[in-house]
Chains A and B, each alone.
Chain A
Amino acid sequence: MTIHKPQQRADVAEIITQASADGTALAIVGAGSKLGLGRHAPCADQLDMSGFAGGLDYQPSELVLSAGAGTPLAQIEALLAENRQMLAFEPPDWSGLLGAGGSGTLGGVIATNIAGPRRVKSGAPRDHFLGFHGVNGRGDMFKAGGRVVKNVTGYDLAKIQAGAFGTLAVLTDITLKVVPAPETSVTLVLRGEDEQAAFASMTRALNSPHEVSGAAFLPAAAAARAGGFGGDATSVTLLRLEGHGPSVAFRAGALASMLAGGDVLPEAASLALWREIACVQPLLQRTDSLVWKLNPQPSRAASVLAEVQARLPVTSCFMDWGGGLLWIELDPAVPDAGAGVMREALARAGGHAMLVRASEALRAQVPVFAPLEAGLARLTARIKAAYDPADVLNCGRMYPPVVS
């Protein structure tokens, strides 16, 4: 295997032009923190983008930040924190989940479009991704979007790039919208609810004007694995409030009286708790288990979970995003990684499921991403061909190559 480590966009273009002429598949790697995510489809060569670190252009009062795609996320988050700003989508660190070191690079976060608990209020990376420079699978250097928050000039190619797992183009430079960090935050904790009751509480909270920015439910076993709750052995429903001091204080009181109860977890404990939830830590019972991420229609979360629990050996689970995200851990011995059941449940409930953690062999056999309905699959294949006709960029990382 050849590992290319370009330093300039033109080098990337040259490498890809050559690879596409030879038909050599390239694995695109930032820090490698998410290599275990997606279909397992080994590529002949590797394109190491860590040379594209830095190049920061950041004006806090413009709410815009640009950086090389290989810039470590931790570095960007530290810089933003110094200026009391943040990435609104709360990029989670899945290194514990995926068994990798560190939270990765900016390019990796965009390519996988992974958001943390604040997704319910503030959206995903795609919602904050303003523009980029990159190289498509033909070796063309192109750009899209801009460096301002409001822009409708041409197609919004940033959107389709986010969550494409590097299968369309290699990003070299990324511009993001940033937001002020909240002055303070607290979490209201309701104890002892079951899934149905928790969904009802989360929905009442999210539907209230109290601007809830995190809504999760940890069954007792998961709660026991989250820092603060150690020995309590009850489930917890967690509702986060963030913002200016007087506002958070008022809303915490109002929300507690609306839901008739709950304790308030103060700032430090609240911060630590949501970091754990973002990292999926409360889920992880064992290191060899299968992990699924389900995105059902929120109102169907409890029924989807009940169905999955009835039909599969679920070892652990929890809900985030007010029910819009279900984390499920399965015994690794389950046939087809449980894919059939997951997808049946979601076909009825609306939504999709991704196999997040499984062995390479399983991720090669079982569809990791929700299989596409025929018309969408054809369109997706045409779009892939429009960007990368020789199918060299992260070939097979999302879907098996189309045999034509």
Chain B
Amino acid sequence: MLARRHDIVAHLRALVPGEGVIDAEIERRAYESDGLTAYRQLPMVVVLPSTTAEVVAVLRYCHAEGIKVVPRGAGTSLSGGALPLEDGVLLGLGKFKKVLEIDIANRCAVVQPGVTNLAITQAVQGEGFYYAPDPSSQIACTIGGNVAENSGGVHCLKYGLTTNNVIGVEMVTMEGEVLRLGGKHYDAGGLDLLGVMVGSEGLLGVVTEVTVRILPKPPGARALLIGFPDVEGAGACVAAIIAAGIIPGGMEMMDKLAIEAAEAFVHANYPLDAEALLIVELDGCEAEVNHLVAAVEDLARHHGASSIRASTSEEERLLFWAGRKAAFPAVGRLSPDYYCMDGTIPRQRLTQVLARMKQLEARYRLRVANVFHAGDGNLHPLILYDANQPGELERAEAFGSDILRLCVEVGGVLTGEHGVGVEKRDLMDTMFDAVDLDQQLRLKCAFDAQSLLNPGKVFPQLCNCAELGRVHVKGGQTRFPELPRF
């Protein structure tokens, strides 16, 4: 493949004219990794199409020539989903930047995949609407990447993930066929293929247009900052809020190290005496918000809160959030490097999981700061390490794997919103057995029979479609040796 590089680049230049094909090594370097920077690989060539027709032409050519393709949005993936291949085309969707239509009567917007998450809200807020899923990376990440990762954010507890807010896509298959899934109407008319496209990590097709549901902006919101002397109290308070029939707009938890880091960074007046901090946001009409603020305050007192503050102005509400939103960079100041994990657990196992994490901290001699989407059990332990110290990166990765195994062991899952990518693919067998994985691979084969689209991601084994289709595949096969290990 690499021997043909020159020829391939020339062909691609004919398909995507102008500056759409990037060949020079120095320029390709910009694409060598995504948000998971520990993994790097220079792509064979970068192609930046600007129309669906160009995407079709590139994929047709690559399909005919057996060339692998890795789609990429903004490259903020935290699981290495957009990690290039040495012998593959990196297909960047960054030029698909138009908001195509805002359709208020049908409460949706049609956008190109390279539009950033935040830009959708900005495009519709003048009409009093917003796009609900709000990953912390929303200034940078693209809706195409959100669709591929089924991204979440702090408002997902009440308003759902990407999958609940995307109602249609146009996609191009690896064979270069354009398909439209869903649309402005409700529900699929046939199989819900849109439902499997969302969260498919760029393995099933290249998304070239997205129709999203937009929601009327709630008239108001207030946030509560609640400190607890122990994690148990905070966890019990979260359960009590939900048991009382309250689904907050957002409900986040931070542990002591995260509280200290955030406070030092943004000075939001976080309670430094607390072992655990809850931020609970209640949104809706004023009558509702005030009613629920009072109800949550009562529950917090009942569960031993050591401090309770309710925001009384929009500035104060945003200040409460500023610490949480800056938690990653804030923790980043405590340590040269950090490694962000993303498991989900049943909430009732929180105390147990945090206690086990403490033991692991001692064993791996690394510290962890915890931020946590408390409402839905999605943990983001941030492991602090120093890549310049020999062996620390490896220790951090081993620690991270142990945390994810622990999540699965208590009934949770490997990833709540960041995706499997290359990072967690070798842990897939802690959750799924060979038969489960084969069923997923068969679906992949129905979309991409030659496994040319983003191969090496998600699955611990490369897909052999002919084999899967032919015979009953028994468990316990050996892993494919040709798959590169990182």
CA distance A207 to B105 in the complex (A): 8
Interface size class of A (residues with CB under 8 A): 35 or more
Q: Is B346 an interface residue (CB 8 A)?
A: yes
Q: Is the pair B187, A156 in contact by a Cβ cutoff of 8 Å?
A: no
Q: Does A225 touch B at the CB level, under 8 Å?
A: no
Judged by a CB distance under 8 angstroms, whether B18 is at the interface is no
| B216→A247 contact, CB < 8 A | no
Cβ–Cβ contact A398 & B186, under 8 A: no
Chain A hits for B304, CB < 8 A = none
Name the CB-closest residue of A to B181: A376
User: Known contacts A149-B377, A156-B199: does B435 contact A140 (CB below 8 Å)?
Assistant: yes
Of A152, A251, A372, A379, the residue contacting B199 (CB under 8 A) is: A152
* A256→B263 CA distance, assembly (Å): 45
A51 within 8 A of B: no
A111 to B270, CA, bound (A): 48
Q: Say yes or no: is B179 at the interface (Cβ < 8 Å to chain A).
A: yes
A276 within 8 Å of B by Cβ? Answer: no
Distance between Cα atoms of A55 and B375 in the complex (Å)? 26
Residues of B within 8 A of A179 (CB): 247
* Whole-angstrom distance between the Cβ of B218 and the nearest chain A Cβ: 6
Also in contact, A351 and B185, with CB within 8 A (given A156-B195, A156-B196): yes
A231 at the interface (CB under 8 A from B): no
- With both beta carbons as reference points, the residue of chain A lying nearest to B149 in the complex is identified as A152
Give the CA-CA distance A249 to B287 in the complex, in Å: 9
Contacts of B344 in A (CB 8 A): 146, 148-151
Chain A CB within 8 A of B292 CB: yes
Are A157 and B196 CB-contacts (below 8 A) given A142-B439, A152-B149?
A: yes
Report A-chain residues with C-beta under 8 Å of the C-beta of B3.
Answer: none
Q: Is B348 interfacial (CB 8 A cutoff)?
A: yes
Min distance, Cβ A212 to any Cβ of chain B, angstroms: 10
Interface digits, B430-447 against A, CB 8 Å rule (1 contact, 0 not)?
011001111110111111
Most buried by A among B177, B187, B411: B187
Contact of A375 with B177 in the complex, beta carbons under 8 Å: yes
Interface range on chain B (Cβ under 8 Å from partner): 35 or more
With A and B bound together, what is the CA distance between A252 and B423 in angstroms? 50
**B314 in the interface, Cβ–Cβ < 8 Å?**
no
B38: interface (CB < 8 Å): no
Q: Tell whether, in the assembled complex, residue B106 and residue A152 are in contact, meaning their CB atoms are under 8 Å apart.
A: no
* Cα(A160)–Cα(B195), bound, Å: 6
Complex: A62 Cα to B170 Cα, angstroms: 35
Q: Please, what's the 1-or-0 string for B369-397, where 1 marks a CB less than 8 Å from any CB in chain A?
A: 00001001110000000000000000000
Residues of B within 8 A of A350 (CB): 183-185
Structural contact, A127 and B420, CB atoms closer than 8 A: no
Q: Contact: A296 with B185, CB < 8 Å?
A: yes
CA distance A183 to B439 in the complex (A): 42
Asked if A275 is at the interface (CB within 8 A of a chain B CB), the reply is no
* A115 proximity list for chain B (CB < 8 A): 187
Interface segment, one of A185-193, A264-272, A385-393: A385-393
Give 1 or 0 for each of A109-120: 1 = CB within 8 Å of chain B CB.
000010100010
Partner of B245, one of A139, A160, A180, A250: A180
Given A140-B439, A297-B106, A352 and B193 touching (CB < 8 A)? no
Say yes or no: is B142 at the interface (Cβ < 8 Å to chain A). no
Contact check, B285 vs A209: say whether CB atoms are below 8 A apart: yes
Residue of B nearest to A372 (CB): B190
Contact present for A154 and B346 (CB under 8 Å): no
Q: Knowing A298-B106, A379-B447 touch, does A251 contact B436 (C-beta < 8 A)?
A: no
Tell me whether A370 and B190 are in contact (CB under 8 A).
yes
Contacting residues of chain A (27-68) with chain B, CB-CB under 8 angstroms: 59-64
Decide: B106 and A207 in contact? CB cutoff 8 A. no
Contact with A along B167-190 (1 / 0, CB 8 A): 000000100011111011111111
A206 CB within 8 Å of chain B: yes
Whether A315 sits at the interface, judged by CB under 8 Å, is: no
Interfacial chain B residues near A383, Cβ < 8 Å: 191, 193, 443, 446
Question: Does B4 sit at the interface, judged by CB under 8 A?
Answer: no
Contact of B287 among A250, A297, A373 (CB under 8 A): A250
Binding stretch for chain A, among B24-32, B115-123, B157-165, B252-260: B157-165
Residues of A near B419 (CB, < 8 A) are: 152
Residue among A146, A209, A370 making CB contact with B219, cutoff 8 Å: A209
- Tell me, yes or no, whether B104 is within 8 Å of chain A by CB: yes
Instruction: Judge whether B377 and A61 touch: CB under 8 Å.
Output: no
Give the shortest distance, in Å, between B379 (CB) and chain A (any CB): 10
Q: Is the CB of A163 within 8 A of B183?
A: no
For the complex, is A278 an interface residue (Cβ under 8 Å from B)? no
B246 at the A interface (CB under 8 A): yes
Q: List residues 153-189 of chain A with CB under 8 A from any CB of chain B.
A: 153-160, 162-164, 168, 179-181, 183
Q: Is the CB of B105 within 8 A of A143?
A: no
State A146–B346 Cα separation when bound (angstroms).
10
From A399, which residue of chain B is reached at the shortest CB distance? B190
Interface membership of A244, Cβ < 8 A = yes
Residue of A139, A211, A354, A380 touching B191 (CB-CB under 8 A): A380
Could you say which residues of chain A place their CB within 8 Å of the CB of B446? 379, 382-383, 385-386
Contact of A63 among B190, B218, B242 (CB under 8 A): B242
Q: Are A209 and B415 in contact, with the CB atoms below 8 A?
A: no
Partner of B105, one of A157, A203, A385, A389: A203
Any chain B CB within 8 A of the CB of A102? no
Smallest Cβ distance from A40 to chain B, in angstroms? 18
B452 interfacial by beta-carbon distance below 8 Å: no
Contact check, A297 vs B345: say whether CB atoms are below 8 A apart: no
Q: Interface centre among A62, A150, A351, by most B CB within 10 Å?
A: A150
Query: Among residues 391 to 440 in chain B, which have CB atoms less than 8 Å away from a CB atom of chain A?
Result: 411-420, 424, 428, 431-432, 435-440
**Residue B469 lies at the interface, judged by CB distance under 8 Å to chain A:** yes
Give me 16 A-to-B residue pairs in the complex whose CB atoms sit less than 8 angstroms apart, sorted by A's number. Answer: A63-B242, A64-B346, A142-B436, A142-B439, A146-B413, A149-B376, A151-B344, A156-B198, A164-B191, A209-B284, A244-B245, A298-B106, A299-B103, A372-B190, A379-B447, A386-B445
Nearest first, the 7 A-B pairs at minimum CB distance are: A159-B195, A352-B189, A247-B288, A180-B245, A351-B185, A370-B189, A250-B287
Give B contacts to A, CB under 8 Å: 103-107, 128-129, 149-150, 152, 156-157, 160-161, 163-164, 173, 177-181, 183-196, 198-200, 204, 216-219, 239-240, 242-243, 245-247, 284-288, 291-292, 344-348, 373, 376-378, 411-420, 424, 428, 431-432, 435-440, 442-447, 458, 469, 472
